[in-house]
Amino acid sequence: MARPRKPLLSRERIVEAAGALVDAEGLEALSTRRLAAALGVSGPSLYNHFRTKDAILEAVADAVSARVDLSMFDGARAGADADWRGALHAWAHSYRDALADHPNIVPVLARGPGRRPAGLRLADAVFGAMTAAGWPPAHATRIGALMRYFILGSAVGSFARGFVDDETAYDPADYPHLGQAHLLADRQREVDEGAFETGLTALLDGLSLQYENLRRTPPDTA
C-alpha cells in the first residue's frame, strides 16, 4: 500500500503550530528547529514561507488579533449619535477574551500593529468609529492608545494569582491589611474579571465626560 502523503506545508499550518508551541511553553520555546520538528519537516523548508522566526511570531500575533470582534464598530461609524461607548465596551471584552486564550503572545502584540493586517484593521476600526462619532482625530488617537494600554495590561498577568494560597504567608504584624489575601488565588476569575470591568467602566465614564465637554465647546476652540 502507498504511504499516506504528509499534508503540504503552508503558512497556516506553520502559524497554527507556532501558536500552539507559544501557548504551551512561552515565546522562548519557539525556535525554527523545534517548530520544524513539530511539523515533521526540515528547518529550511520554513523559510519558503517566512524569512525569519520573528516573522512567524508576527503572524501568530496577527492571528490572535484576527479573532477580535470588530462588528460593533459598524454602527458606531454611523455618526455622532452612534453608541461609541457601547462599541468600545463590547470591543474591549472581545479583545481581552482573545488575549486571555493566548497570554504568551501579548509581548509581541504590545509592540504595536506594525504591518500586521489584522492589527491594522483593528486600529483602523477604532479610530474610524471614534472620529465618526464626533471625537477630534487627536482625541481618537489617544483613545485607541489608552484602550490598548488598558486591555493589553490586563492580559499580562493575574492580580489574584499573584498571592499564594497560604494564610501563614502574610503575617498581620507585617501586612495588617492582607489577612484575606491568601483567598484570592481561589477566586482568580472573579477578581480579575471584576477588576477589568471596574476599570473599563471608570475609563469609559471619564471619556463620556470628556465627550460631553467637547460637544459643548465651540468648534474653533475644541
Question: Scanning the structure block, which residue is given the C-alpha cell 463620556?
Answer: 208
**Secondary structure (DSSP) of 161-173:** GGS-S-TTSS-TT
Q: What mean pLDDT do residues 195-208 have?
A: 97
Residue 144 vs residues 139, 154, 173: alpha-carbon distances, Å: 9, 16, 44
Are residues 140 and 130 in contact, defined by beta-carbon separation less than 8 angstroms? yes
pTM above 0.85, yes or no: yes
Model confidence over 82-105: pLDDT tens digits?
699 999 999 999 999 999 999 999
Question: Scanning the structure block, which residue is given the C-alpha cell 506553520?
Answer: 14
The amino acid sitting at 208 is S
Question: Scanning the structure block, which residue is given the C-alpha cell 477588576?
Answer: 195
Are residues 72 and 90 in contact, defined by beta-carbon separation less than 8 angstroms? yes
Count of helices and strands (H, E) across the chain: 10, 0
Model confidence over 107-137: pLDDT tens digits?
999 999 999 999 999 999 999 999 999 999 9
Model confidence over 21-72: pLDDT tens digits?
999 999 999 999 999 999 999 888 898 999 999 999 999 999 999 999 999 9
CA-to-CA distance for 208 and 169, rounded, in angstroms?
A: 42
Are residues 91 and 75 in contact, defined by beta-carbon separation less than 8 angstroms? no
- Residue 219 CA neighbour count, 13 Å, CB half: 1
What phi and psi values does residue 68 have, to the nearest 5 degrees? -80, 130
Q: What angle separates helix 117-132 from helix 53-65, to the nearest 10 degrees?
A: 40
Confidence of residue 4 (pLDDT cuts 50, 70, 90): very low
Three cell numbers at 69? 470582534
Are residues 85 and 147 in contact, defined by beta-carbon separation less than 8 angstroms? no
Question: Scanning the structure block, which residue is given the C-alpha cell 484575606?
Answer: 180
